[in-house]
Structure 1
Amino acid sequence: MATTTLPASTAAQPEACAIPCNLCGGTDVEQVGNRDRDGKALRTVLCRGCGLVWTDPRPNTEETRHFYAEEYRVAYKASYTPKPKHAFRETLRALERVQDMGPIVKPGEKLLDVGCGGGFFVYAMRRAGVNAQGIEPNHGFAGYAQSELQVPVQNAFLQDVDFPAGTFDVITLNHVLEHVEDPTATLARLGSWLKPNGYLVVEVPNVESRHHSPGNRFHIGHLYNFNPRTLAGVGRKAGLDVFESRVIAGPRHCHTIFQKPEKASNASINFRSVHNYQRVRGILHSHTSLSHFISPSVYLRVVRKQLKYLGEWQQTRTAGTGREIVESVMRKAG
């Protein structure tokens, strides 16, 4: 896999907390990692006040913007634009997301997908009759969405766009919130774009998951690492109610649907939770390389992944355009 660097993260690693906790505001932290998945220096800390995990210190805003605009998709996908296998894979995932969205979005309603990648979910939602659009900071993937799939996607960072209050019925962030510099402020801003009783759907990796080995737990693209409680906390702190919260089977991602209340609440909420800190700490410390690699599930996942890749190759080896692949997958899915 291609690698990249964000230089400020590899600077001197102070023991002090340079970035206050985004959830409880605390600065009492415990270091839980000093390397990323590529073995490069990356200091990761755990808040003793609530259990939120984040990169500290981290790159400055200019470096971060350059990374996501130019390098991020190459680092993760080894390609500047989606390959045929990505079109196949992401269309299947988009169809799963469309099915999940059924209870909360209706044809004709307005939906915004933040960090929409190549636009596959936007395409699938529009095909289902939803007035969907997207935002994507990466030039290559946003360009693909615009030219290949011809869906309304802005090539921009979230900070650079704005919508009138109450514009959308639903906003989605699929594996996006972990990348932002201020999760609470991000959710609050998105919440302002929702209609009263509108939904904000967020999915992020779960720091409690044992899906990856300890050496692959933290990496440079994720500024924050959540568990279900801290994800719910940042949403509540942003003024949203938790409508539904679950853990996805398999990789055990956190999936939470927030709902915008009709009236803002003035109730004071305490976001500190020593119990959650102890829970996250216990899970991180108990998931060792030995416990990971003696687990049969690790090897079953490898076999399943290889079979999946073989199936993707068979389905796309005579592929046409990206849009033709998307349409073929959707026809077969019914």
Structure 2
Amino acid sequence: MRASRLLTLLLLLQNRGRMTAQQLAAELEVSVRTVYRDVDALAAAGIPLYGAAGHAGGYRLVDGYRTRLTGLTGEEAQAAFLAALPGAAAQLGLGEALATAQLKLHAALPAEPRAHAGRIRERFLLDAPGWYGDADRAPHPHLGEVAGAVWERRALLLRYRRWRAPEEIERRVEPYGLVLKAGRWYLVAGGATGPRTYRVDQILSLRRLDEEFTAPDGFDLPAHWRAHLADFRARLHTGEALVRVTAEGARRLGVIPSGEGGWTQARVPIESVEHAHGEFLRLGAEIEVLSPPELRDRIAATVRTLAARYQE
């Protein structure tokens, strides 16, 4: 660990120029006393750095010195591919490796591209999860085990919760890859009926099997995921509802209003009666469902229940 920290300290000084002991301690998450010891160790090893006291003081490398110790380890190379999503790297246990990889990549760049990369980092940020998602919660406890099985090509025995009966199933799977979509992790895994997709946060328990596997020839995770999304979207809206909406309801539902300032009648695609029931209730009095009858009846029953509850 100390060798890695010494290299990180050296790369920090190379990338950023002068840094105080307090700044280095904050970056390395160690005490200032530890920074002093590490700086002494680097100086004893022949690294040309010097320190200055006072307001403009701090440690810096002799002008022109650049270390060549910028080769990436395997773990750092993995993390580099997650550079746009530091949260994902941290969830997979690669947060520290990502930080070191970025320092090494930055140190390896000539001065002008290095300055350009710094401006990009300062001015652009990718924040993938949606506003109302629950991506801020702690990562699922099985994510690390799943990622390890994906990397080592080891089969898993999953106990999984799904939305339809039977709700809990047990299944042997061969984990091909992980996908992070809108703040959620999905496992793409092979099984008796071909590749399937599992939400990692719905895995109740798992056991890694002492069985290695080989992914099918030609299997391409990005291509499979694109096909999965296309199929999902094709199945998403298989029904239709006839509704009346106010001008506000039309706006929220994405319907073109009649222009008369009153109610607008429209046909809108729905995924299912159950899903539409929840979505239309969000519009409150801004919508009236005319058909299908089972959807209208279900919403009416919910409204009656709510009215009775609030009259108590």
Give the number of the structure whose residues are more often helix, by fraction: 2
Which band: TM-score by shorter chain?
A: under 0.3
Q: Please, what TM-score do these two structures have when normalized by structure 2? A: 0.21
Q: Which structure would you say has the larger Rg? A: 2
Give the structure, 1 or 2, with the largest relative contact order (CA under 8 Å, sep 6 or more).
1
